[in-house]
Every structure is written in C-alpha cells, then in structure tokens.
Amino acid sequence: MSVYPVVLSQTTFTHRDNLTYPFEERGLQFGDGIYEVIRVYNGRCYLLHEHIDRLFRSADAIKLALPFSKQDIIHLLQELLEKNDMANDGIIYLQATRGSARRTHAFPKGDVQANVYAYVQDLPRNLENLTNGVCAITYPDVRWEYCYIKSLNLLPNVLAKQAASEKGCYEAILHKDGEVTECSSANVFMVKSGKIYTFPATKRILHGCVRMRVKAFSQELSIPFIENSFTLEDISHADEIFLSSTTSEIMPVIRVDQTQIGDGSPGPITRKLQKAYEQDANITEKTIEQLS
Ligand code: PDD
C-alpha cells in the first residue's frame, strides 16, 4: 500500500490520510488528463523511460504543459519508491490533469497548473493466469480515433472489461466491424503458422510499452512480427492468442467466446515470449518456466 503518495505538482509527499482533492478538477469533471501505469519488480521500475516518454507524448497530444522535465519525474518516482520502502512487486500509478479550475469546457485561463500525482501499490505477478492462460470475450470497439493517447477517458474500456468480467473472462478483445484492434487494457496478438500478427501502431490503439518489447523479442527470436490487423474470423483459426500489458505481462489466451484456441493450453511461441520477458525484466525466481 502506498502510504506516501506524491503530489508531484508541488513536489511534496503527503500521507494518504491527509490527501485532499478539489471537486472542481479537470480530470474528475472532464477526464481531461492522462496517466501511466508502470510495473515494479522487487522495488525496481521496468520500462520506466518508455512510460515517461509516452507520458510526454500523451501530454503533447492534449496540449497539456507538464511542469517537470522527464528527469525530474524519474527522480521523484525513485524517491516515491524509497519513501514507501517498496521492495516488492507492484505498480506506480501516475496521473496528470489540466488542473483545478471553475468548470468550463475550454482550457482554463490564467495560471492554472497541471495536477500531477503518483502512488505505489503492491501487485504480485498473476502466476496462475500466466501459467494456465485466460479466456476472453469479443466486444465492439466504440472508442474515439485517438486511442494512442493514454487518456483518463476510459468509460468504453470500463464497460468492455465489465462485460468480460460478467462472463467470467479476463479481458475483452475489441473489434471494429470484425477487425481486431486491442483489448480494454492490453494489446492483443495472434499467432498463425509461426508468425505473430497485431494491429499496427497507428492512432487507433495504445502503443503499449510491453507491445514494443514483444516486437523486439520476436525479432531476437527470429519470429516474423507482422503489424497487420486480423479479424474475428481469423481468431477461430488461430494457433495462439496472447495479450500484452504492464499488469498482464505476456498473457496466454486459451478461449475466445466459445472458441478454444489451439489445443486449449498456452502455445510454444507465447511461452518463448514469456521467457524473454522474464529475462528482460530480470525475474529469476518463480519463473513461468519453473512453474509450467
Ligand atoms: N493499460 N491498450 C490499452 C487500452 C491499455 O490500457 C494498455 C495498458 C495497453 C498496454 O500498454 P502497456 O504495455 O504500456 O501497459 C494497451 C494499463 C496497464 C492500465 O490501464 O491499467
């Protein structure tokens, strides 16, 4: 648990019990802000620079001036981990909004500073799911055209994930007219005849930090990585399906709606990528290889 969240806007660390947040706040009232979720293993951040780079890309895209340099934020996050004696596996949640101001749609006038805060939370790896695989539903992608921005506007994602949860599933695979884009909170990949397919990194999906690593691992392993979209119809003939995200890592999918994927257990290419991930993240204990 994060005892000391950090209110980065004021560069102060505040005990969670003393934290107050104004109700006229652009993030709360308009979803006018952006966020990042950063993985922590044994108290150390994984892919930190990639997340901070994306944070600044999202900020530029919504014309939000962050009152920090990338280096300032990195130092503050390190301090956050130290202040909370974070030595476990967990996440950092970081959010930046257009600040607190009287409610009106256009950007607030005058000297309104962004509100930026971050906190840490314990999150053990979900080894059971990573080892055995999960099921997913398919669900229409009704989101806007700028899904590359890691925006706080997550209502379509929330509704999709809830629909999955009500069916006892882990994720919702989103599609527009049958063309698969990504998931409610992960990227999605199909393996067919030894090749990996995934939606290209356009404005229509989030450019996942783990997706970027999956691409690099595939190249290192000489597995063709094809950034072409696939369809719901393709899923029914897929050899393997897997997801990637900060919290899901590389997650095998063994059933989509009523369709069993492959032989109903995690496939060999997914396993190779999981192994590459664990090596990249310096995970040496309780690895999926040891458990599966
Ligand atoms: N979600 N696509 C969407 C829509 C996401 O929300 C996420 C991450 C990803 C994967 O991105 P990354 O590999 O950088 O985590 C793809 C985070 C974990 C969340 O909202 O909790």
Please check the confidence at residue 1 and state whether its pLDDT lies above 70: no
Q: Which residues is 60 bridged to in the sheet? A: none
The pLDDT assigned to 2 comes to 65
SS3 at position 243: strand
Q: Is 229 in the pocket of ligand 1 (CB under 6 A)?
A: no
pLDDT tens profile 59-92: 999 999 999 999 999 999 999 999 999 999 999 9
Q: Where residue 125 falls among pLDDT bands split at 50, 70, 90?
A: very high
Q: Which of 198, 245, 250, 273 to mutate to test the pocket of ligand 1 (most atoms within 8 A of CB)?
A: 245
Q: Is 151 in the pocket of ligand 1 (CB under 6 A)?
A: no
pLDDT tens profile 17-56: 887 888 999 999 999 999 999 999 999 999 999 999 999 9
Q: What is the mean pLDDT of residues 141-152?
A: 98
Comparing CA positions, the residue from 149, 212, 148, 158 lying closest to residue 181 is 148
The pLDDT assigned to 189 comes to 99
The sign of the dihedral angle between the CA atoms of 227, 233, 239, 243 is: positive
SS3 at position 166: helix
Nearest CA, atom 19, ligand 1:
185
Return the active site residues: 150
The per-residue b/e assignment along 97-111, b for 16 or more CB within 10 angstroms, e otherwise, is bbbbbeeeeeebeee
Residue pair 123/91 in contact (Cβ under 8 Å)? The answer is yes
Whether the pTM exceeds 0.85: the reply is: yes
Q: In 10 A of CB 133, how many CB atoms?
A: 23
Nearest CA, atom 4, ligand 1:
185
The per-residue b/e assignment along 212-251, b for 16 or more CB within 10 angstroms, e otherwise, is bbbbebbeeeebebeeebbebebbeebbbbbbbbbebbbb
Residue pair 170/156 in contact (Cβ under 8 Å)? The answer is no
Residue type at 205 in one-letter notation: I
Q: What is the mean pLDDT of residues 95-102?
A: 96
The pLDDT assigned to 17 comes to 81
Average pLDDT of the chain is 95
Spatial separation of the C-alpha atoms in residues 156 and 148, rounded to whole Å: 15
